[in-house]
Amino acid sequence: MLEKYELVQSINNEHNVYLVKNIQDNSFYVKKELSIFDINVYNYLSKNTFFGIPFIKELIASNDKLIVIEEYIGGQSLERALKTGRVFSEFETKKIAIRICEILNQFDTEYSIVHRDIKPSNIIIRNDGELFIIDFNTAKFINENKAKDTVLLGTEGYAAPEQYGFASSSVQTDIYAIGVLMKELLTGTNMLNDYYASPLKSVITKCTRLDPSDRYQNFNELIEDLSKHSTTRLKDLIPVGYRSRKPWKMVLSSMWYLFILWFSFSLKVDNTYGVKLFIIRLGMAVALISSTLFAGNYQNIHDNIPKIQEVNKVLKVIIIAILSILVCLSILIFFLITVSL
C-alpha cells in the first residue's frame, strides 16, 4: 500500500514525520510512523470528518507501530511564529483559543476524546488563515471510571497535573493546556508564575488551576467566558518601530517618520502649487508611511501573503521588499491621478 507514496522530504526526522506524494494523483500527504498511539482513536478519526483536523487517508498497522497517511496542512505552526519573537495580541489569542475549543468540542459526545498534547507545535495556521490541530498520537477516549491514566503522556510545561498520575485525563486536561498556550501567546513564555498583565489573565488562571474541578468544566463554558472578555485592539494600532518598546528602536523609528514628513512636505514639483502640490506631498507621505508599515508587518499583514511562511528567509525579505515598493508606487500613482483629474 505504501508503494504509491513517494518521499518528498523529511518534516521531523526525530519523530518520523515525512512529506510524501501520491504518485497516482500527485497529491501531497503527511506520513507518520507512530510507536505511541491509541488505535481506537485513529480508527474513529479516520471514519469521521471533523473541521480543523487533518483528514486521515490511510492507516497501516505494522507490528507495534502505526503508519498514518493524513492530509498535508501547508502553513505555519504557532511554535514557529513564537520562535521569530512574535507576541500575539489579546484579540488574536482569544480568537485562537476559541477556535481550538470549537474544534475539540466536536468530541464532546458519547465518543469524547481528550487530545492531551495541546501546545504551539501542534497548532497550525494554514495559509488561508484556518486553524488546525495535529498530532493525536497521545489522544485517548475519556474513561470516567478510571482513577488515573495508566500511561503518562504529555509535554512538560503544557501537561496538566493529572497527566503525571494524579487523576485520569478529561476535558479539563485540554483546557489546562489551552490556558498555558494563551499565556505563551501573550507573553512569549509558558511560565505561569511570572508577572504579566492582560484582560485574559483571569481566564488563564481558571484554566490552569491544579484541581480539574476548579477549571472550566467544558469547552462551552470557556468559550462563553472568553467571549465576554473585552480585548482591546489599541495595542495592535501601535505603528511599526514602537511595538517592542525598545528605546533604540523607538528613537530610530521617530527619526524615520520625521524624515518622511520633512521629505514629503518639502517636495517641490515644477509648475505645481497650492492644493495640487499639497495633495502630491500628502500622497508621498502616505505612500512612504504605508510602505514602511507593510515592510514592518503592521497588523501581521504578511500572514495574508500566500505561502510566504514556506519560503526561506532571504527570499522572504526580497518578496516583502518588492511588495513594499509596489505598495508605495501604487498609492503615489493614485494621488497623482487624483491631482490630474
Per-residue confidence band for 147, with pLDDT thresholds at 50, 70 and 90? very low
The alpha helices in the chain, defined as continuous H runs, are: 39-47, 78-83, 90-104, 171-187, 201-207, 219-228, 247-265, 274-295, 313-340
Point out which residues pair with 20 in neighbouring strands. 7, 29
Q: Which residue has the cell 475539540?
A: 104
- The per-residue pLDDT for 145 is 53
Query: What's the CATH number of domain 75-235, 2.40.50.140, 3.30.300.340, 1.10.510.10, 3.60.60.10?
Result: 1.10.510.10
Whether the per-residue pLDDT at 154 is higher than 90: the answer is no
Do residues 21 and 38 make contact, with C-beta atoms less than 8 angstroms apart? no
Whether the per-residue pLDDT at 44 is higher than 50: the answer is yes
For the record, the C-alpha cell of 210 comes out as 491544579
Per-residue confidence band for 164, with pLDDT thresholds at 50, 70 and 90? confident
Q: Which residue has the cell 503592521?
A: 298
Whether the per-residue pLDDT at 244 is higher than 80: the answer is no
Name every residue whose Cβ is closer than 8 Å to that of residue 300 and which is 6 or more positions away in sequence: 92
pLDDT averaged over the chain?
88
Per-residue confidence band for 306, with pLDDT thresholds at 50, 70 and 90? confident
Domain residue limits, the chain: 2-71, 75-235, 240-340
Per-residue confidence band for 303, with pLDDT thresholds at 50, 70 and 90? low
More confident residue, 277 or 165: 277
Please compute the mean of the pLDDT values over residues 134-159 and round it to a whole number. Answer: 74
Work out whether the CA dihedral 54, 55, 57, 61 comes out positive or negative. Answer: positive
Whether the per-residue pLDDT at 233 is higher than 60: the answer is no
Whether the per-residue pLDDT at 165 is higher than 80: the answer is no
Please compute the mean of the pLDDT values over residues 158-181 and round it to a whole number. Answer: 88
Instruction: Determine which of 16-30, 85-99, 242-256 has the lowest per-residue pLDDT on average.
Output: 242-256
C-alpha to C-alpha distance for 323 and 295, rounded to whole angstroms = 8
Instruction: Determine which of 89-103, 104-118, 322-336 has the lowest per-residue pLDDT on average.
Output: 104-118
pTM over 0.85? The answer is: no
Do residues 39 and 66 make contact, with C-beta atoms less than 8 angstroms apart? yes
C-alpha to C-alpha distance for 98 and 224, rounded to whole angstroms = 9
DSSP string, 2-35: GGGEEEEEEEETTTTEEEEEETTT--EEEEEEES
- The per-residue pLDDT for 230 is 66
Please compute the mean of the pLDDT values over residues 210-221 and round it to a whole number. Answer: 94
- The per-residue pLDDT for 340 is 87
- The per-residue pLDDT for 288 is 96
Please compute the mean of the pLDDT values over residues 193-200 and round it to a whole number. Answer: 82
Whether the per-residue pLDDT at 21 is higher than 50: the answer is yes
C-alpha to C-alpha distance for 311 and 126, rounded to whole angstroms = 14
For 297, the 3-state DSSP assignment is coil
For 141, the 3-state DSSP assignment is strand
DSSP string, 53-72: SPPEEEEEEETTEEEEEEE-
Do residues 143 and 206 make contact, with C-beta atoms less than 8 angstroms apart? no
pLDDT tens-digit map of 58-70 = 999 888 899 999 9
Per-residue confidence band for 151, with pLDDT thresholds at 50, 70 and 90? low
| Percentage of residues in the chain having pLDDT higher than 70 | 91
- The CATH number assigned to the domain with range 2-71 reads 3.30.200.20
Do residues 148 and 167 make contact, with C-beta atoms less than 8 angstroms apart? yes
- The per-residue pLDDT for 232 is 55
**E strand or H helix that includes residue 114:** strand 113-114
